[in-house]
Each structure stands twice: as C-alpha cells, then as structure tokens.
C-alpha cells in the first residue's frame, strides 16, 4: 500500500501531529493523500479532471471537507479544489481509512498512488461552446480512466499534466501543461495538434481516437528513462529533450505545424452565455478569491440538479453552471445572488495566492490586500473586466499567465511591500513602481483606471483594452498617472 505522508513541512514544523515526509522534494505538489503543512494548517488538494463536478460530487466534497473541520474550499488555478487550514491530528490515518469511500464518491482515483497525477485540464465550456471544433470531455474521461487504473504511472513526475483545447472561445491554451492538445480541422477531419516544436521535437496531428495511446506512449518513454525510486523526478519536458530518438513512436502523426487562432481574454466566461445546444445557457459565476463556502457548495449542487447539470470549475478560479433553460435564468440568477454569488468582474479577475496567512515564503497578506483593493474598485462603478494578480513573492503560484496588473510582494523588505507591474512584459509585466505599502495600492490602481477611462472618453471610437493601454504607454507616463498625474 502507498503510505500517506505529509510533505516537507519546512519552517512550519510538524505541528499537526502528522508524519514527516521521507525525503524533501519527493512530492512537490499537495494531493488528497499527500497533505502539505502550511502556517494555517495542513492543506489537501483534490483533482477534478476538466474541472467537472456533478451534484453528487459537490455534496460529497462538502461532507468530506466538513468532516475534516473545514468551512470552505478554494478553487485552484488548475480548476481543482484545495482544502486548507486543517488541524486534525490523525489526518493521514483518516485519509487512508477513507480512500475506498473517496473513490466511490468520485473524489479520488481507485488507486491512491496515482490520484495526484490526474492533472487534466480542459476548457470549462468543453462540449457546450458554440465555437468548439470537438467536445474534449470524452478525452478528459478516457485519460482519467487510464491514469486512475495504471499503477505503473506512480513513477511519473508529480507535475505530469495534460491540457485539451477543443477550439472553444473560452480557451485554456495559455495555461501551463506538460502536453497540450489543440483541436484543428483539416479537410473536414478533426485532429488534435501536439506541438513540441519549441523543444525542437516536432509537431504531431493525432486523430482523437489515438490521443490516449499517444499520451500513454509518452508516459512510457518517461518511465523507461527515469528511475521510479528517484526522489526528485525531472519534468517530462527535460526527459523528452534528452531522449529525442524515442519520439519515433509518434512519427506516424508528424506533420507541419498549423497556426491556431489567437486566444481571447478569459473574462468572457462570466455572466450568461448561450450554449451550442439550442435554448440552453451557462452562467459564469465569480468566486471572491476562488473561495466557496460549504453551504454555497451544497446549494450549487441543488441548483445544478434542479436547473442544470453539475458545475464546472475554471482555471481562473471561478465556476460555470451549465445547461440552464432560458426560462429558468432569472430564477437561477436570483438564487445565486441569495448565495452571495454574482458575475462581478472585479472578483472574476482578481487572483491572490495564500499570502502571509498560508505560506512561509510570503512577504505580504495578499488575501487581505486583494479584498481591500476590490472594495476600492467597487467604488468606481461599472468595473472593467481586468485581471489583477496579487503574489506574496515572485514565485507566482496562483497565476501562471500574464495579467493586466500584478502586485508582487518583496521578500527582501522587513515590512510588507509590493512592486506594481502593468501590461505585457517579462513575467509580471513592466515594472511601474516598487516599495509600495499595501495602503498605497487602492489609490495607485484607481488612478491608473481613471487615466484609462479618460483616454477612452477622449476617443469615443477607441475600443482599446486596459492591457493594450498600459502596454503601449511609456513607463514614465504610467508612473505619473499612478501617482495622480493628469491624463
């Protein structure tokens, strides 16, 4: 049997009476059976391939979290769920004892040892998106079934991850994955493009029916090259690059690379949207900092059972309620409002890592500072759909892609200080200001937004996005505006 251990606890110590990991770095990502110790308690992560949960899974998740003493769950940037702040003294024993029930409740894989490898991402609008080329949900399910029942895969890197992009308008193609399959149509045939050309390993056009075999072949390549007992396993990319001749197995599918459409901003998933199924709609719901209370989770299960079909978590830490009939939209919206949930674009685009309360590396209280900023931006009225990222240090755990504005905690300072970045640029964008106290942020960001609005008001034909605006202005101009200079 796979033993359940707590990850390296670092400076947090083994304060929960949990076992200590056998070797630092052996399991760098938390899992359902691999709790991680953090300043606010142990944390677990449950995988939901494709971000898909049915009503029963929602209820099971709520009951499981409640039994562990949690009051809420957090959606992660891989559309999974994290339960944190756990102080149970016998957590490992309880998790092992519950494993069969967790699998029966569809909260875990039948094999504990591979549960944490179900890192499978898809668009939250897979199967319902009017622009999609194919429904990737069968691929998500097939890959989940393969991983969940193949004990040999325990030798893979814990970061092994696969993304399926079916050509949906709400694309997840910018999210980081070891392997990304993107739908493409050629001569009325649908293929999945696996583009490894960045690693000089070629590009492959694979029929949907052969994709799981392709993933399995790549997994076998990895397992054939990496000692399963290795404590720090290399990433898939490193192994593939070192073993180029072995990619012969994909040769039948090798083809010229096809340029795929540009990826649209992710905020378009909030609010009401028509599905490809006539008369059906999905509602995109913003979750404040990705958090759902257990009561909200249970009520969402009821709502989806009565009016829709399950919930879909998004990599932007929000969720969708799909398959709502047009006549039911007002009722569902009212019930969401009664739960304190809405499509508020401020919350929809605001991301913060756990910060000081949950991470020993954090320089700032990202959660509290993000909430203070949300309150300030709400005062402006008619909020723009911005993406704003609070990171307690430069590691950027909560958000892996670029954002409109980024606030990054400075670990070199003795008091909480942020650097402000804007628009496109390296990692976080272009640096606008450093050494900012949390109290300075709301005014600085409000000033930038006001400058953007004034610029648009001066040119009524302009449809320039905020990101394009801040990306195209000189840094000195942005610095002046953020400090209250006139536009």
Chain residues binding ligand SF4 by CB under 6 A are 353-354, 359, 361-362, 391-393, 395-397
Min separation Cβ 415 and ligand SF4, Å: 16
Min separation Cβ 21 and ligand SF4, Å: 18
When the beta carbons of 291 and 395 are compared against ligand SF4, the nearer one is 395
When the beta carbons of 413 and 479 are compared against ligand SF4, the nearer one is 413
Min separation Cβ 314 and ligand SF4, Å: 20
Q: How far apart are the first and last CA of the chain?
A: 65
When the beta carbons of 141 and 361 are compared against ligand SF4, the nearer one is 361
- Residues 11 and 360: their CA atoms lie apart, in Å, by 7
- Residues 93 and 18: their CA atoms lie apart, in Å, by 9
Two structure tokens written together for 401: 């892609």
Helix, strand and coil content of the chain, in percent to the nearest 5, comes to 40, 20, 40
Min separation Cβ 356 and ligand SF4, Å: 8
Two structure tokens written together for 75: 């959606």
Query: Which residue, among 255, 183, 251, 191, has the nearest Cα to 217 in the 3D structure?
Result: 251
The phi, psi pair for 157, rounded to 5°, reads: -60, 135
Query: Which residue, among 154, 94, 168, 65, has the nearest Cα to 118 in the 3D structure?
Result: 154
When the beta carbons of 112 and 351 are compared against ligand SF4, the nearer one is 351
Please report, for residues 85, 334, 469, the alpha-carbon distance to residue 5 in angstroms, rounded to integers and kept in the order given: 17, 44, 49
Min separation Cβ 217 and ligand SF4, Å: 34
Taking a C-beta distance cutoff of 8 angstroms, is the pair 47, 80 a contact? Answer: yes
H or E segment and range at residue 132: none
- Residues 155 and 485: their CA atoms lie apart, in Å, by 57
Query: Which residue, among 54, 155, 66, has the nearest Cα to 114 in the 3D structure?
Result: 155
When the beta carbons of 428 and 466 are compared against ligand SF4, the nearer one is 428
Taking a C-beta distance cutoff of 8 angstroms, is the pair 123, 166 a contact? Answer: yes
When the beta carbons of 249 and 427 are compared against ligand SF4, the nearer one is 427
Min separation Cβ 373 and ligand SF4, Å: 16
Min separation Cβ 355 and ligand SF4, Å: 6
Min separation Cβ 353 and ligand SF4, Å: 3
Tell how far CA 350 is from the center of its chain: 13
Q: What is the CA angle 366-24-69, rounded to 5?
A: 50
DSSP string, 415-436: S--EEEEESSSSTT-EEEEEEE
Min separation Cβ 39 and ligand SF4, Å: 10
Min separation Cβ 395 and ligand SF4, Å: 4
Min separation Cβ 8 and ligand SF4, Å: 14
When the beta carbons of 109 and 393 are compared against ligand SF4, the nearer one is 393
- Residues 224 and 241: their CA atoms lie apart, in Å, by 14
Please report, for residues 105, 309, 311, 487, the alpha-carbon distance to residue 57 in angstroms, rounded to integers and kept in the order given: 6, 12, 10, 51
DSSP E strands: which ranges in 24-151? 36-38, 41-46, 52-53, 72-75, 81-86, 120-122
- Residues 406 and 255: their CA atoms lie apart, in Å, by 38
Query: Which residue, among 213, 193, 207, 104, has the nearest Cα to 150 in the 3D structure?
Result: 213
When the beta carbons of 43 and 422 are compared against ligand SF4, the nearer one is 43
Q: Which residue is nearest to ligand SF4 (CB)?
A: 392
Min separation Cβ 29 and ligand SF4, Å: 12
């Amino acid at each position: 049997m796979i033993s359940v251990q707590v990850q390296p606890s670092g400076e947090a110590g083994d304060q929960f009476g949990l076992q200590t990991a056998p070797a630092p770095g052996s399991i760098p990502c938390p899992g359902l059976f691999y709790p991680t110790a953090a300043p606010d308690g142990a944390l677990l992560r449950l995988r939901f391939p494709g971000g898909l949960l049915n009503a029963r899974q929602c209820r099971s998740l709520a009951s499981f979290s409640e039994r562990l003493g949690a009051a809420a769950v957090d959606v992660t940037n891989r559309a999974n769920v994290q339960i944190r702040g756990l102080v149970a003294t016998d957590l490992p024993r309880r998790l092992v004892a519950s494993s069969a029930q967790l699998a029966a409740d569809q909260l875990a894989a039948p094999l504990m040892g591979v549960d944490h490898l179900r890192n499978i991402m898809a668009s939250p609008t897979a199967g319902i998106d009017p622009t999609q080329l194919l429904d990737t949900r069968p691929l998500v399910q097939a890959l989940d079934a393969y991983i969940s029942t193949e004990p040999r895969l325990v030798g893979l890197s814990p970061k092994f991850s696969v993304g399926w992009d079916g050509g949906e308008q709400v694309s997840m193609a910018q999210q980081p994955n070891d392997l990304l399959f993107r739908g493409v149509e050629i001569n009325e045939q649908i293929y999945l493009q696996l583009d490894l050309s960045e690693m000089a390993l070629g590009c492959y056009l694979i029929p949907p029916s052969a994709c799981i075999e392709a993933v399995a072949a790549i997994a076998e390549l990895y397992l054939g090259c990496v000692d399963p007992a290795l404590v720090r396993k290399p990433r898939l990319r490193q192994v593939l690059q070192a073993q180029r001749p072995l990619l012969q197995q994909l040769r039948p599918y090798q083809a010229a690379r096809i340029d795929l459409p540009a990826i649209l901003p992710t905020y378009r998933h909030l609010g009401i949207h028509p599905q490809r199924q006539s008369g059906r709609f999905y509602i995109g719901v913003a979750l404040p900092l990705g958090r759902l209370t257990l009561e909200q989770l249970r009520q969402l299960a009821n709502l989806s059972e009565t009016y829709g079909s399950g919930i879909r978590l998004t990599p932007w830490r929000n969720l969708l309620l799909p398959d709502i009939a047009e006549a039911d939209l007002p009722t569902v919206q009212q019930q969401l409002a009664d739960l304190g949930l809405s499509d508020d674009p401020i919350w929809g685009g605001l991301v913060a890592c756990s910060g000081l309360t949950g991470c020993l590396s954090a320089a700032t209280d990202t959660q509290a500072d993000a909430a203070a900023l949300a309150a300030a931006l709400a005062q402006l009225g008619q909020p723009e759909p911005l993406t704003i990222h609070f990171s307690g240090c430069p590691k950027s755990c909560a958000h892996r892609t670029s954002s409109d504005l980024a606030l990054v905690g400075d670990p070199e300072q003795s008091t909480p200080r942020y650097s402000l970045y804007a628009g496109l640029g390296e990692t976080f964008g272009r640096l606008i200001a450093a050494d900012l106290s949390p109290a300075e942020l709301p005014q600085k960001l409000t000033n930038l937004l006001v400058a953007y609005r004034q610029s648009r008001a001066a040119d009524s034909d302009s449809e320039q996005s905020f990101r394009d605006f801040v990306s195209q202005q000189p840094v000195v101009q942005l610095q002046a505006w953020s400090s209250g200079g006139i536009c």
